[in-house]
Amino acid sequence: MKMNISQKIEARLKASGVNFVRFVDITVLSGKENKKYPNAIVFGINFSAEYLHIVMKTSDYVQEMVRSKSDFSDDEFYLTELKTGELADGISQWLNNFGYKAYSLSDKNQVETGFFDGRNGGTPLPHKTIARLSGIGWIGKNNLLVTPVFGSALCLGVILTDAPLEITHADSIQSQCGNCNICINVCKPKALKGVTWNVNTKRGEMLDVSKCTTCLNCLLFCPWTQNYINNIKCL
């Protein structure tokens, strides 16, 4: 059976180790956010439970690597982020070759094209915004995407395009954080403010970026991430 363009994209990404692929209608976003593209492709790759255990057992994992001048080139987080960016760039170019317009939201491409705001350290369209619209998860109090399957233990890739995709129809998941404040309590620099996200919430209301040390504790100790780690251990 001949595959349509959505099926071809999903097959290419799945063959590269991607856990999920969603095709999203992004016309609900502003032109500043979606760059006037109607559709988006979002995909994710999870971190291994083994890696997460290593990080949990190493006090101040990221800062320790910085202090010891360790090379991040073999760090799973770094490698996964690099891979999702390269895959997004590759799919974008593949779509361009077929005559469609496409824009990769890889870090590299956003910086090179000026879509990333270096002064404020942000972008008009975070990956998690597309992921939330796809119904894959919600924005947690840790200011990260939280998914029922992987918690926050995954990296995302996004491509904006005018290609005629088979849109994935799914209801957005409302925040499941409830009264849980574990991510707030484990945030040593007190960067998180304990705010439950809604569509009008700004990043500054949830997170003081100037205090964040990227320690990963809010990712690791989220109960949904812990469920993922424990479920993998039981397999």
Note the pLDDT of residue 72. 77
Q: Which residues pair with 117 in a beta bridge?
A: 122
Report phi then psi at 23, rounded to 5: -115, 120
Q: Which of 58, 211, 224, 76 is nearest to 141 (CA)?
A: 224
Tokens of 113: 């094209």
Q: Mean pLDDT, the chain, as a whole number?
A: 92
- Distances 231 to 56, 149, 234 between C-alpha atoms, Å: 16, 10, 5
Note the pLDDT of residue 151. 97
> Is the confidence at residue 165, as pLDDT, over 50?
yes
Taking only the tens place, the pLDDT of each residue in 25-56 is: 999 999 999 999 999 999 999 999 999 999 98
Taking only the tens place, the pLDDT of each residue in 77-105 is: 999 999 999 999 999 999 999 999 999 99
Confidence of residue 64 (pLDDT cuts 50, 70, 90): confident
Note the pLDDT of residue 235. 39
Question: Which residue's entry shows tokens 């397999």?
Answer: 235
Residue spans of the domains in the chain: they are 5-234
Instruction: Give the pLDDT mean for 166-180.
Output: 92
- Distances 87 to 58, 93, 149 between C-alpha atoms, Å: 30, 10, 22
**Structural contact between residues 150 and 44, judged by C-beta atoms closer than 8 angstroms:** yes
**Structural contact between residues 193 and 154, judged by C-beta atoms closer than 8 angstroms:** no
